[in-house]
Amino acid sequence: MSITKEQIDNANQGMMAQHETEFQVLQSRLVEKGLPVDHIIDQLQHFQVAIPSWALGAGGTRFGRFSIGGEPRNLSEKIHDVGLIHALTQSAGSISLHIPWDIPEDATTIRTLADSHGILFDAVNSNTFQDQINQTLSYKFGSLCHTDASIRAQAVNHCKEVIDIGQALGSKSLTVWLADGSAFPGQLNFREALERTLGSLKEIYQYLPSDWRLFIEYKPYEPNFYSTVIQDWGTSHLLASECGERAYTLVDLGHHLPNTNIEQIVSTLIWRGKLGGFHFNDSKYGDDDLTVGSIKPYQLFLIFNELVEGMANNKSNNPPLAWMIDASHNLKDPLEDLMQSLEAIRLAYAQALMVDQQRLQEARSTNDVTMAQEILQDAYRSDLRPLIREARRRSGGALHPIAQYRRLGMREVLREQRGLNTVATGL
Ligand code: PSV
Ligand code: MN
């Protein structure tokens, strides 16, 4: 069952009076501040975030999976679920596939299906961090960095296949995340492992269609707990620079050691024109599976502030960024979880759009530290939820997506259609 425009409009009707009151109060406050409300709403409406195909089931912690029931059993059902989220939120207009989990039987049919939901195909992701059934050689000791050339070749070929699949679907980028590294001191020659990784990435880059981009993700630890070959943004930036101008660093918020200043990394990468995109999630101690904005919403806002400012002063012509959620947990209904993440991302973006960049710049130039903080926190502490709802309403989405999802009993319908014990492929 898909959700119809009529159902959404009907549900919105009952909530309109309250929404209008709240929106008008906020609108006059923003207008008083001299903010172009309609322009901000327009920017919000255009801001689309990709949904990862591997987050549509109740997974995430890897230590236990407790099926929520009605999880998608195949790629078509995954697209259907993203379609549901998009219909309600109007902000999830694409899906990011993970190969080999999501190999389409027939690319044309899948494209047509996605199209019927208004869904595009975002970056495709390779998987050289697990062995697949019938795989000839093992990635137990690494993939693109492996000491054995035939294992590296197998991993490179896999990435090429992923590109082929992505091309058939209309994707325009490949994201490579590697688990390669070492669990114990002495296991790897760091320099040689990095050199071999660069060699493999260059081969993949050579294969990239001319209108594609390569995103190189980094992560300091897990699954390896002593060293990771692409451990940080500097290493990713170095590899991307060596590969060529269509290779970029991808920042996954959860892939930093505690208290890392991610907003500063973002600023530096835009300055060099090398920021490819984002994987949004949140974390308290480590890992990357919690709902966006559930732990550190202020950090998220500060990151968006750098993004907005950086892209407005984009001297290095950093191309438009790829936005994606990369979070999944085993406690919540995954679709509700993703809608919460989408809301948090849009809120942080809206707050950043509210920052008076000119006044902030003036405060900086006169070293008025207090005022700089006031300007940022005035934006951060503004409740912009009515603005987000208005943007969603104007695009034809639901004023309250989660409430409507629940009222329509969507999960129950999915359970009825797909069964109680379905487990979607993913992490
Ligand atoms: C593993 O940490 C991970 O969450 C990376 O962030 C990748 O982007 C994702 O899995 C999919 O491979
Ligand atoms: Mn990621």
Q: How far is the CA of 84 from the centre of ligand 1 (A)?
A: 24
Q: Which of 124, 228, 324, 427 to mutate to test the pocket of ligand 1 (most atoms within 8 A of CB)?
A: 427
Q: How far is the CA of 243 from the centre of ligand 1 (A)?
A: 21
Q: Are 396 and 90 in contact (CB under 8 A)?
A: yes
Confidence of residue 274 (pLDDT cuts 50, 70, 90): very high
> Closest Cα to residue 279, out of 267, 270, 266, 264?
266
Q: Is the link from the previous residue into 223 a cis peptide, with omega within 30 of 0?
A: yes
User: Cα dist. 66→57, 98, 283 in Å?
Assistant: 9, 21, 21
pLDDT at 65: 78
pLDDT at 60: 58
Contacts 24+ apart (CB under 8 A), 155-161: 155/126, 155/128, 155/200, 156/200, 156/203, 156/204, 158/99, 158/126, 158/127, 158/128, 159/126, 159/128, 159/204, 159/207, 160/204, 160/207, 161/99
pLDDT at 424: 78
Q: Counting atoms of ligand 1 from 1, which one is nearest the CA of 54?
A: 11
Whether 282 is in the pocket of ligand 1, judged by its Cβ within 6 Å, is no
Q: How far is the CA of 388 from the centre of ligand 2 (A)?
A: 26
Q: How far is the CA of 177 from the centre of ligand 1 (A)?
A: 6
Average pLDDT, the chain: 96
pLDDT at 330: 84
The ligand minimizing its distance to the Cα of 55 is 1
> Closest Cα to residue 93, out of 55, 125, 51, 53?
51
pLDDT at 425: 73
Question: CA angle, corner 156, sides to 152 and 160, nearest 5?
Answer: 170
Whether 102 is in the pocket of ligand 1, judged by its Cβ within 6 Å, is no
User: Could you tell me which residues are beta bridge partners of residue 67?
Assistant: none
Whether pLDDT at 1 is above 70: no
Q: Whose CA is nearest to atom 8 of ligand 1?
A: 177
pLDDT at 111: 98
- Other beta carbons less than 10 A from residue 65's beta carbon: 17
Question: CA angle, corner 396, sides to 394 and 397, nearest 5?
Answer: 105
Percentage of the chain beyond pLDDT 90 is 92
Q: Whose CA is nearest to atom 5 of ligand 1?
A: 177
Q: Which of 228, 326, 341 to mutate to test the pocket of ligand 1 (most atoms within 8 A of CB)?
A: 326
Q: Counting atoms of ligand 1 from 1, which one is nearest the CA of 427?
A: 10
Q: Whose CA is nearest to atom 2 of ligand 1?
A: 288
Whether pLDDT at 64 is above 80: no
Q: How far is the CA of 243 from the centre of ligand 2 (A)?
A: 20
| pLDDT tens string 346-401 | 999 999 999 999 999 999 999 999 999 999 999 999 999 999 999 999 999 999 99
Q: How far is the CA of 255 from the centre of ligand 2 (A)?
A: 8
Give the start-end residues of each E strand in 79-146: 94-96, 120-121, 124-125
Percentage of the chain beyond pLDDT 70 is 98
| pLDDT tens string 86-110 | 999 999 999 999 999 999 999 999 9
Whether 391 is in the pocket of ligand 1, judged by its Cβ within 6 Å, is no
Q: How far is the CA of 52 from the centre of ligand 1 (A)?
A: 10
Whether 309 is in the pocket of ligand 1, judged by its Cβ within 6 Å, is no
Helices 297-312 and 334-354, axial angle in degrees (round to 10): 50
SS3 content of the chain, % helix, strand, coil (to 5): 50, 10, 40
| pLDDT tens string 211-267 | 999 999 999 999 999 999 999 999 999 999 999 999 999 999 999 999 999 999 999
pLDDT at 130: 95
| Helix residue spans in 171-252 (DSSP H) | 190-207, 233-243
